[in-house]
Amino acid sequence: MATLIDGKAIAKDIRREIAKEAAAFTEKYGVKPCLKVILVGDDPASCIYVNNKQKACEKAGIDAETLRLGAETKTEELLGLIGKLNADKLVNGILVQLPLPAHIDEKKVLDAINPEKDVDGFHPMNAGKLLEGEALLEPCTPKGCIELLKRMNVEIAGKNAAVVGRSNLVGKPVALMLLRLNATVTVCHSKTKDLGDVLRRADIVVAAAGKPGLVTGDMLKDGAVLLDVGINRLEDGSITGDIDFESASKRASMITPVPGGVGPMTIAMLLKNTMLAAEAQNA
Ligand code: NDP
């Protein structure tokens, strides 16, 4: 039976470490590291995410404020607000909660964030730096996956890694990060002919497809390490991942649960990025 990778406990350790860094920063500069979160509209899931982010920041000693804008907000108004936050020296991080209402030009908005304050790591400048292997601010969920592997002492160099999903948010960045750490990486997507054929060769599997139970035990190599990024809400309201936990945990050496695996790491990495941004801006 596989060892459970307790993302909740690992994220808690990281948040504790960040609280120390934030306290040292506040002592040194006389101000707390500061994150501004912009929420447009009142999508219930987004409201929960934003509240969780704000609470986690406050607990870690990071000054966080959520700026709530009406669903009718225009792209230009949002760009104006981002311009002000970009210019404010006391603001270290800016996060625009996605998804934005359909009438807003999401790309234009994300591209307007000063890359030095882009704590989500979505700006093309940071994506380019990630490709070159030298980004300071990397996307939080992929960064959380790598941190889990490191904290569980999983050897990455020389291993075969398979990533299921190729989104700019998760699949592509996590593949680049694994590659940088010298894994041999295969990226799978919806047109991949035989997923099991690829996964059965993988020592590390990162599943980020958004398809409940897509990866089953028979598709896996014995002893594989499994990170399940998927968050899928079932009809009964429960949350499940992309990996069929029951069959997969019989083959794997380590596996993340859903919830309580990769999810908590995303917020921990947001706090980490806010600290990194604050320190870099004051260096
Ligand atoms: P996207 O929908 O943007 O991307 C999904 C990817 O999975 C696509 O590349 C798609 O391929 C691929 N895919 C879909 N079906 C299959 C299949 N049958 N076989 C192989 N590949 C497939 O999703 P995201 O990357 O944004 O998110 C993925 C999952 O992770 C979601 O469940 C999301 O909720 C969750 N998530 C969790 C986070 C966390 O904090 N834990 C944070 C962010 C996301 P193609 O490109 O060909 O369409």
Q: Whole-angstrom Cα distance, residue 56 to residue 219? A: 37
Judged by DSSP in three states, 169 sits in coil
Helix (H) or strand (E) segment spanning residue 279: helix 263-282
- Which atom of ligand 1 is found nearest the CA of 211? 15
Average per-residue pLDDT for the chain: 97
Residue 214 near ligand 1, beta carbon < 6 Å: yes
- Which atom of ligand 1 is found nearest the CA of 265? 40
Residues known to be catalytic: 53, 97, 120
pLDDT at position 35 is 98
Domains and CATH numbers, the chain: 31-114 (3.40.50.10860), 140-263 (3.40.50.720)
* Ligand 1 midpoint to CA 281 (Å): 33
pTM: 0.97
Q: Could you report the per-residue pLDDT of 30-77, keeping only the tens digit for each? A: 999 999 999 999 999 999 999 999 999 999 999 999 999 999 999 999
Residue 174 near ligand 1, beta carbon < 6 Å: no
Nearest partner of 169 among 205, 192, 145, judged by Cα: 145
Residue 192 near ligand 1, beta carbon < 6 Å: yes
The answer to whether 249 and 2 are in contact (CB under 8 A) is yes
Distances (CA, A) of 40 to 48, 96, 125: 13, 8, 24
